[in-house]
Structure 1
Amino acid sequence: MAEPRNLPALWRTVWQDPAHRDHMALVTEQQGWTYGELDAAVRRLAGALRQAGVSRGDYVALAMARGPGQVLALLASLVAGACPCPLEPRLAADETRRRVAAVGLRWMLHDADHADLAQASGIAPSCRLDLDRLPAAEPHWDEGHADGDPALLLFTSGSTGKPKGVLQAHRGVLLNTRGVVAHTGLRPDDVLLHVMPLHHTNAINNQIFAPLACGATVALAGRFRAEDMPDLLERFRPTLMTGVPTMYSRMLQHTFDPARLAGLRMARCGSAPITPALHREIEAFMGCPLVVSYGLSEATCTSTINPPAARRIGTVGTVLPGQRVALLDEQGRAVPDGAEGEVCIGGDVLMLGYLGHDGDSPVRDGWLRTGDLGRFDADGYLSITGRIKDVIIRGGENLSPKQIEDVLSREPAVAACCVVGRADRDLGEVPVAVIVPRPGVAIPDHELLRARVREQLGRIYAPDAIYISAALPENAVGKVDRKAVARWVSDQDQAHGAGAILPASQPA
């Protein structure tokens, strides 16, 4: 039999294998699908999408509440030959319209809860499809995708401004799936507890695509809440779960049945840095290895993972099979062994490109310049030693300082502002803003400013605190010196308490 050349082809070989047909593929608190039932449901929905007019290569926005319908829509869009684009929940309507227009989304598949958002999206009425009202159609399965065809469109925030669409290729999602399965030893008797948001590359590529490509079971629970986790472990009895440091940190505050924790063979952690102390505390609490990984949406998902049986605390693991990771200097040359350099990723996992973004591409000379600094040890384990870029990672969510600054700067009372990250034990980092009031205008009410950001961007973007300054420091080329602003915020916190609203002064 020929080697499957894309994910739909790989899924078909697994889902139709007699050894898997009666094994559970997807379970929730209310219902479940065996692999045979999942195969049939996905085929039917893919046929309905094709009958509605969706063609191979079309971009299909998914506006849905977290749940099995969202997973089936994601899988069926791919099997129909289209390129799904899961939209982030709780976005303002204006931002949704901007994203739809920016990347050229033609279709939207939505549920009843998102009917109003679909109507306000700017997508033509004939291309807005209600999941619950799609007419029955002949089952369909398309696995004719070429390696370089688009497979998945995700939005990500960098340090440069508005979120842009990252277009992932079929070759990338297939290579990532195979690498994750091989490197972590995923197997049919695994049960993966899924509690992460379904618009993230990790939650899709590693927690939906990969387990369903090896016959494992995905236990789809609600969005993570630490207080729910003891009951979820009892109900689903998972062998593995994936999260961000914030999630595991919050779990430490709750009581778990030792027998249920004992069923976990590993927990995966990514999307944000974790301190060695917290890593050890989590492992002692959970009684299983905490496997830290590293990757970017621009390189499909995961490029390095700690091997579960040989994890090294303080590192993000070793390179996945078939991937290329190098440490380069500013001129693009490899640094000497053991030296620090910029983490760069190459090969088939690289995105096809950005959509809705008019800035420079981070891919140069075949390498994705991640903006992160790292060092390999003698055994090939990578440690992330710093960050060149300004992105703020709040509980695993990448936030663009510039995007928040753009909202605040539109306020009449704000002459200038700078948003930086502040360390937070629970979330890792939170955004805080330093604003310069406009002369002759009353200092703006900080709660009003935070509300503006929530309304236009979403809750997680709202600054945790707002500081008043007479001016912002600049570097030699006239740009705001973010490092100096961050130091000033830290000094103010120590002197006056975190988040104090201070009289106008100037960062040194």
Structure 2
Amino acid sequence: MPKQSDSPRNTERGTTGTANGATQTLAEALTACWNKPEVAALTALDDGNRSFTYAQLADATATTAASLLARGLVRGDAVAIAMSRSLDAVVVLLAAIRCGLCPCVLEPKLPVEEIDERLTLVGAKGLVFDSANSDLVQGLKRDPDGRGTMRAIDSAQLGAHAAAAEAAADSTSEHDVDERTPALLLFTSGSTGRPKAVELTQRALLNNALGVIAHTGLSAQDRLLHVMPIYHTNGVNNQLFAPLLAGATIIFADRFRADDMPVLMERHRPTIITGVPTMYSRMLSQKFTPAALASLRIARCGSAPITEALHREVEAKLGCPLIVSYGLSEATCTSTMNPPHARRIGSVGTVLRGQSVQLRQADDTMTDAPGVEGEICIAGRSVMTGYLGVEDATARTVTDGWLRTGDLGRFDEDGYLYVTGRIKDVIIRGGENLSPLLIENVIVGETHVRACCVVGKPDPDLGEVPVAVVVAGDDSTLHAQDICDSVRRRLSRIYVPHEVYFVDALPETAVGKVDRKSLAGLVRDGLLQAVA
């Protein structure tokens, strides 16, 4: 194995450096940046109706942080955020990080039972909500395990006790937050079981942000158009923390709609946009004026594979490099990215600073030799603490300090990584990871079927979509709509199968397991007949 300092695939260093070479937490680094005289007066956040300068953002988050602590929360506590997409939600998220809490932004419109399960899993001590989510809070089980009451906090009241918050301001000092303090919880399904909560530290968040800044040249001259969810690792780590640490301006627009992009681009003239392949595919049919694209220096793409044809179409449409990256929530967000000045189509780029990427061989040896395929593994300060409450899954995923991604890849001679396949069964629908087992469990539990297997089917818009292959039980009246309705009742709409296939039996491997690869091939090749 080569020395880490000798290899472009290993950029791990002994310290997490910032301008002063000493900052170890995201909380402290953000404050240091925001208090710089040349940054304080710049616009940090703008949603078209209201905005925050960096000085105003520093004040707002400090007051909110103190108010959270004044309500009985203590450092290290998990606090869930159930708020509509808004600048207020961003302020609460940043405030929680600044005072050493561990925030978790909840995906909107999840069934109350699913939210209850997630709150219990992370041991949430607080839940910050807004008026749009007040009914949701009323329906939650407040103390499902008898482990203590979770505090429900109306976000509108956080600023109502300004005097108390000011009195407690000293307790929000970022200097008291340790680099290993839990700082963010992200939910990820992977390929099996219920969604797992990924715990990330202050050090991990800072390391990812610094790596993105160094790789992209992100600076105070940039304007980033933000249209992705803030419960998604990309939407929060790369599109909030990194630009806010670089003094850039974030245009916080409504959620992505392709029809809105021409107007947004014309009005705000961003230098950076970021999204997933599905978003860019949908933008191809839109008409952009030359002025709307004139300021754009890069478009970033991640979270799902992109075809070479789509890559070239997007670049031709936008008139700028499309920068493809690769990463997992379990490694904070981004581990490799194409340099803007030297992107290579088909590659997911080179390794970010502060991280190491190597390939695990069949005999468990690690290599970063060019042209050798293996399982992509990641090490360094960005790797998660673990999955909360699932020690066995953590032990399987992180071994000897290396995060096993389940993806296959190879490096070229210049250290560019190419993803060549997936070991996992996870379905990536428009950049969102869906667990087949989660869908299968609902179908089997809610309907009269003997067996079910959910696989991904290629889709020109979303990349791939879930489809269900079902062995019917004794109920001959069961229809495809019944299958879809069962999933729709229990999970959000993105999990609902796009098609349902009824078969007499599921293909099996030699050891009696369902042969997912064979089944996915039958679906892909159109050899199964979908039914209504």
TM-score band by shorter chain is over 0.9
Counterpart-to-counterpart distance in 2, 1:161 and 1:261: 43
Q: CA deviation at 1:16?
A: 1.1
Residue 166 (1) aligns with residue 185 (2)? no
Contact 1:393 1:430 in 2 (8 A): yes
Higher relative CO (Cα under 8 Å, sequence separation at least 6) belongs to: 2
Q: CA deviation at 1:62?
A: 0.4
Residue 77 (1) aligns with residue 104 (2)? no
1:351 to 366, 384, 387: 384
Contact 1:100 1:123 in 2 (8 A): no
TM-score, normalising length: structure 2: 0.91
Counterpart-to-counterpart distance in 1, 2:391 and 2:47: 41
Identify if the C-alpha distance between structure 1 residues 358 and 161 changes in structure 2 by more than 3 Å, giving closer, same or farther.
Answer: farther
1:404 to 406, 419, 439: 439
Counterpart-to-counterpart distance in 1, 2:95 and 2:528: 56
Counterpart-to-counterpart distance in 1, 2:306 and 2:213: 23
Counterpart-to-counterpart distance in 1, 2:398 and 2:390: 14
Q: Which moved more, 1:451-460 or 1:269-278?
A: 451-460
Task: Tell me the equivalent position of 1:466.
Answer: 500
TM-score, normalising length: structure 1: 0.95
Identify if the C-alpha distance between structure 1 residues 95 and 495 changes in structure 2 by more than 3 Å, giving closer, same or farther.
Answer: closer
Contact 1:74 1:84 in 2 (8 A): yes
Identity %: 53
Task: Tell me the equivalent position of 1:308.
Answer: 340
Q: Which moved more, 1:187-196 or 1:475-484?
A: 475-484
2:165 to 138, 147, 171: 138
Task: Tell me the equivalent position of 1:278.
Answer: 310
Task: Tell me the equivalent position of 1:506.
Answer: none
Contact 1:109 1:130 in 2 (8 A): yes
- Please show how residues 314-325 of structure 1 align to structure 2 within 5 Å: 314-325=346-357
Counterpart-to-counterpart distance in 1, 2:511 and 2:400: 27
Q: CA deviation at 1:169?
A: 1.1
Counterpart-to-counterpart distance in 2, 1:344 and 1:63: 33
Task: Tell me the equivalent position of 1:88.
Answer: 107
Secondary structure of the residue that 2:200 maps to in structure 1? strand
Task: Tell me the equivalent position of 1:392.
Answer: 427
1:180 to 195, 212, 221: 212
Q: Letter of the aligned partner of 1:340 in structure 2?
A: E
CA-to-aligned-CA distance 1:2-32 (integer Å, 9 cap, x gap)? 6222111111111111111111000002111
Counterpart-to-counterpart distance in 2, 1:494 and 1:485: 10
Q: CA deviation at 1:348?
A: 1.2
Q: Letter of the aligned partner of 1:389 in structure 2?
A: K
Q: CA deviation at 1:355?
A: 1.2
Secondary structure of the residue that 2:393 maps to in structure 1? coil
Contact 1:413 1:442 in 2 (8 A): no
Residue 16 (1) aligns with residue 43 (2)? no
CA-to-aligned-CA distance 1:205-250 (integer Å, 9 cap, x gap)? 1100010001000110001000000111122111001100000000
Counterpart-to-counterpart distance in 2, 1:302 and 1:272: 12
CA-to-aligned-CA distance 1:337-387 (integer Å, 9 cap, x gap)? 311010000111110000143643200111111000001000000000000
Counterpart-to-counterpart distance in 2, 1:289 and 1:48: 44
Contact 2:190 2:433 in 1 (8 A): yes
CA-to-aligned-CA distance 1:19-72 (integer Å, 9 cap, x gap)? 111110000021111111111111111111011111111000000111111100
Q: Which moved more, 1:118-127 or 1:190-199?
A: 118-127
- Please show how residues 6-85 of structure 1 align to structure 2 within 5 Å: 6-85=25-104
1:434 to 462, 465, 469: 469
- Please show how residues 281-300 of structure 1 align to structure 2 within 5 Å: 281-300=313-332
Q: Letter of the aligned partner of 1:375 in structure 2?
A: R
Gaps of 5+ in 1: 502-508
Q: Letter of the aligned partner of 2:325 in structure 1?
A: S
Contact 1:437 1:443 in 2 (8 A): no
Gaps of 5+ in 2: 1-19, 144-148
Contact 2:267 2:292 in 1 (8 A): no
2:233 to 201, 207, 226: 201
Counterpart-to-counterpart distance in 1, 2:36 and 2:135: 41
1:151 to 183, 187, 212: 183
Secondary structure of the residue that 1:204 maps to in structure 2? helix
Secondary structure of the residue that 2:136 maps to in structure 1? helix
Task: Tell me the equivalent position of 2:448.
Answer: 413
Residue 446 (1) aligns with residue 480 (2)? yes
